[in-house]
Amino acid sequence: MPAALGADEMTELVEEYGDEMLRLAIVYLGSREMAEDAVQESFLKIFRHYRPGPNPRAFVMKVLVNTCKDLLKSSWRRRVDLVADYPDLWEEQGQRQEPGLLLREVQGLKPTYREVILLHYYEGFSVGQIARLLNCPQPTVSIRLRRARQKLEQRLEGAAYEDL
């Protein structure tokens, strides 16, 4: 079993990847609060099970993506939608920000399509890197990217550039 990270090493990882992880999680989950939980949970997992390798960013992002998937699959998440159940609370606090049309459409994609779009276009990973992150063949990632782009193109057809 890999040894846990030291405090200094963990601090470096948080400082280097924390903001990037939060941005990805917000887009992936559609909620800043859930994203903060996902990032925190990811760092706990990383702290306990870090495996040093040639690309620490890939490892950190892989843990985050898997944590986001787990959150989306959780039974609590399927039963409770705080924003829908309590819209007044969110609007009163001014926390409700309307994302652009493109971002809303990306968030509306199936998780398998959304994750490849986010990792490729928002985080800059190559198809090969995404394949390693998701433990699937490169052709599968390429097909998912192509299909996701097609779906986005269909959904955004006729949209004004300013709305994106």
> Using CB atoms within 10 A of its CB, is residue 29 exposed (0-12), middle (13-18) or buried (19+)?
buried
| Averaged pLDDT for residues 127-144 | 91
Higher-confidence residue: 149 or 72? 149
Q: Say if residue 9's pLDDT is above 50.
A: yes
pTM: 0.62
pLDDT single digits (tens) 49-86: 877 778 888 888 989 999 988 888 875 555 445 445 54
pLDDT at res. 102? 79
| Averaged pLDDT for residues 83-106 | 56
| Sole residue written with tokens 């971002």 | 103
Judge contact between 14 and 39, C-beta under 8 A: no
Q: Domain-by-domain residue ranges, the chain?
A: 1-97, 99-164
Residue 90 banded pLDDT, cuts 50, 70, 90? very low
What is the second-level CATH architecture of the domain 99-164?
Orthogonal Bundle (1.10)
Q: Which one of 1.50.40, 1.10.1740, 1.20.1440, 1.10.3470 gives the CATH number of domain 1-97?
A: 1.10.1740
Residue 40, token pair as written in the block = 């925190």
Q: Say if residue 32's pLDDT is above 80.
A: yes
pLDDT at res. 150? 92
Give the span between the Cα atoms of 78 and 70, in whole angstroms. 12
| Averaged pLDDT for residues 98-102 | 66
User: What is the average pLDDT value for the chain, to the nearest integer?
Assistant: 79
Please tell me if the domain spanning 1-97 has the same topology as the one spanning 99-164: no
pLDDT at res. 133? 84
